[in-house]
Amino acid sequence: MDINQQHRLRKQGLRAAHLIALFIAMSIICLPGLWIVLNSFRPTVEIMAKPPVWIPERLSFDHYRAMFGGVGEGGVPVLRYFMNSLIISLTSTLIAILIGIAGGYAFARYRFRGKSAIFVGFMVTRAVPGVALSLPLFIVFAKVGIIDTHFALILAYVAMNVPFSIWLIDGFFRQVPKELAEAAEIDGCTRWQAFWKVEFPVAKAGIASAAIFAFLTSWNEYALASQLTRSVYSKTMPVGLLDFTSEFTINWGGMCALAVLMIIPALILTFIVQKHLISGLTFGGIKG
Amino acid sequence: MPRILKRLPPWLALLLPAIVILLVVVLIPLLLSLYSSFTPYRLTRPETLYKWIGTYNYVKVATDVNFWWAFGRTVFLLTVALNLEMLLGLGLALLVNKVTWGQRGLRTIMMFPMMFSPILVGFQFKFIFNDNVGLVNNALQSLGVTDQAIAWLVDEKLAMFSIIFAEVWMSTSVFAILILAGLFAIPRDPLEAAKVDGCTPWQSFRHISLPFLMPFIYIAMAIRSLDVARAYDIVQIMTNGGPARRTELLWTLIGRTGYVDAKMGLANAMGYISIFLAIFFTIYFFKKLNASRAVLGFNH
């Protein structure tokens, strides 16, 4: 066998190995989620079947019908939860990003005493886990009387997402050369116009990626939500998932249907912002 | 109010919203819990909040074997999960980076587990690892690997393994996405020069790509170690600390002490000792990050 042939064989072998490894990795990533989606379309008998039924006999929409059936018949008020989640996540993301832009800009553009101390101080507040915070936060919120409101959760999630947003957005603003904004100001822009026309567009990708992280965090958060919500007026979907459990049994089919409903908005949003997420993090990562 | 804002230096005016909200939502509750950790506070008896018992709770926690086992288990889970996620994330990023066709689709699929709520991941794997109807046992039995049901979540060793599996499944993509961003940012010139100089692919990866990727890896490490609390949701749902406390982590123990046993003061003392762990990891990875940036000359 001559060297050329050997070389070609090796190259083909590596290509095949790469594809096989990629296929296995993607399967492991997708299978658990796919299993949930499949289960949401099966009758409960098939979910619990033994030996297992791998391919559903027929599509069943029973779980979805039951889920949207309403409160009266013992169903879970899914639409309420969905709306609560949407309102709380979107509002808190918006506020956190606005505060994050202001804070990130301050860290990136101004020199002041105690800058790194404040920066680390912010990070440390993020280090406090939700479950540790939920105990005292419950007491404070109960005293103020805002338990079981959207406002309480929005407040908590803004605080949770602000440090992380500032950290990311600070990196992106640093990547905009100072001279660019200065040139705009010389050309007669106000500082605000210079920010809006020059610096903001360049940092937009980073802001978008901070937004997706913030949204996913609020959308999926459970520890705080389970303490600060009481009723259908403020319960979010992660908390609502527990409505499908009773002391000894779990309604797997219903839970899977709700899970599918929970993933769809996250999937859509991530897909839209996905392009920015990569190019954005590239810059935010390096120049901190 | 606006007039006062105008008199402040601009950096402070810009940072003020962040500072205010963190003070109100994080610092005040934390001070309250710091105070209550010196009282025998029970949720069921509010008057206990006004009784000062000094460091009694802290002494009790420090001498509690169960607490230190949970502490050790949390450090164990963090170390194993973070390192596994880092290695697998690196591998996944390299695999996806090599793909030339349909990469955008693959990147979205790659981030799929990130979109799952930790609590959902908990239920998902509770179901998948169920000894009777779970996916894993069904697959193993269909393939004839085993004819007995394996009790993944009941066996003391397998339960921890199952939790680590769920945790790694959920968070590997955080590493993959950040490392992939790093791979895109690697300058082409040094890699080509290395090729001309006759470096093997492994050598150029080891000496050029990897140092460049380190800041990204540490950012992911810092983010993930900050989010250690997420492990709470998964563990609480999958095993609730069982069997026989074998998967009891700090946060499940604190949650149980505070809400089930209603010993809020004691739970807060535990929380305070535990928060130091999180702060330690934060500062540790921050230093590592700065050091790896300094190597690349990015520290300005």
Given a cut of 70, whether residue A287 has pLDDT beyond it is: no
Least confident span in A169-183, A239-253, B111-125, B158-172: A169-183
Confidence label for A50 from pLDDT (cuts 50, 70 and 90): low
CA distance A33 to chain B (A): 8
Structure confidence at residue A73 (pLDDT): 46
Given a cut of 70, whether residue B135 has pLDDT beyond it is: yes
Is A224 among the domain residues?
A: yes
Q: Are residues A138 and A186 in the same domain?
A: yes
Q: Are residues A51 and A123 in the same domain?
A: no
Arithmetic mean of pLDDT over chain A: 81
Is A173 among the domain residues?
A: yes
Q: Are residues A59 and A181 in the same domain?
A: no
Structure confidence at residue B299 (pLDDT): 47
ipTM, interface predicted TM-score of the complex: 0.79
Given a cut of 60, whether residue B98 has pLDDT beyond it is: yes
Is A256 among the domain residues?
A: yes
Q: Are residues A234 and A148 in the same domain?
A: yes
The amino acid present at A264, given as its one-letter code, is I
Is A287 among the domain residues?
A: no
- Domain range for A12 is 3-68
Structure confidence at residue A175 (pLDDT): 66
DSSP A198: I
Structure confidence at residue A284 (pLDDT): 45
Q: Are residues A83 and A135 in the same domain?
A: yes
Q: Are residues A51 and A82 in the same domain?
A: no
Is A165 among the domain residues?
A: yes
Given a cut of 70, whether residue A255 has pLDDT beyond it is: yes
pLDDT tens, position by position, B56-66: 888 888 888 88
Is A156 among the domain residues?
A: yes
Q: What is the distance between the alpha carbons of residues A87 and A229, in angstroms, rounded to a whole number?
A: 14
Residue B265 vs residue A46, higher pLDDT: B265
- In chain B, % of residues over pLDDT 90: 8
Is A73 among the domain residues?
A: no
Given a cut of 60, whether residue A281 has pLDDT beyond it is: no
Task: Extract the runs of DSSP E, i.e. beta strands, from A35-191.
Answer: none
Could B184 and A282 be called an inter-chain contact, meaning their C-beta atoms sit closer than 8 Å? Answer: yes
CATH number of the domain enclosing A92: 1.10.3720.10
- The residues, ordered by sequence, that sit 6+ positions from A208 with a Cβ below 8 Å of its Cβ are A273, A276, A277, A280
Three-state secondary-structure class, residue A71: coil
- Domains of chain B listed by start with CATH number: 63-296 (1.10.3720.10)
CA distance B99 to chain A (A): 9
Q: Are residues A157 and A257 in the same domain?
A: yes
Do A270 and A288 contact (CB within 8 A), yes or no? no
Could A131 and B251 be called an inter-chain contact, meaning their C-beta atoms sit closer than 8 Å? Answer: yes
The torsion angles phi and psi of B65, rounded to 5 degrees, stand at -60, -40
Residue B279 vs residue A276, higher pLDDT: B279
Final residue in a domain of this structure, among A47, A68, A89 = A68
Final residue in a domain of this structure, among A44, A68, A92 = A68
Question: A105 touching B, CB under 8 A?
Answer: yes
Q: Are residues A164 and A143 in the same domain?
A: yes
Q: Are residues A224 and A244 in the same domain?
A: yes
**Distances from the Cα of A92 to the Cα of A194, B15, B103, angstroms:** 27, 18, 32
- The separation between the first and the last C-alpha atoms of chain A, rounded to the nearest angstrom, is 53
Given a cut of 50, whether residue B300 has pLDDT beyond it is: no
The highest-confidence range among A142-156, A274-288, B238-252, by mean pLDDT, is A142-156
Q: Are residues A261 and A134 in the same domain?
A: yes
Q: Are residues A23 and A105 in the same domain?
A: no
Could A162 and B18 be called an inter-chain contact, meaning their C-beta atoms sit closer than 8 Å? Answer: yes
Q: What is the distance between the alpha carbons of residues A44 and A50, in angstroms, rounded to a whole number?
A: 12
Query: Which pair of structure tokens corresponds to residue A166?
Result: 């500032």
Q: Locate tokens 């940072």: which residue?
A: B15
pLDDT tens, position by position, A187-222: 888 878 888 877 887 777 778 878 888 898 899 888
Q: Are residues A21 and A138 in the same domain?
A: no
**What is the domain count for chain A?**
2
Is A100 among the domain residues?
A: yes
Q: Which residues on B lie below 8 Å from A103 (Cβ)?
A: 14-15, 17-18
pLDDT tens, position by position, A127-137: 776 666 777 88
Given a cut of 50, whether residue A115 has pLDDT beyond it is: yes
Final residue in a domain of this structure, among A35, A68, A101 = A68
Enumerate the H helices of B135-245 as residue ranges: 135-142, 156-185, 188-196, 201-204, 210-226, 230-238
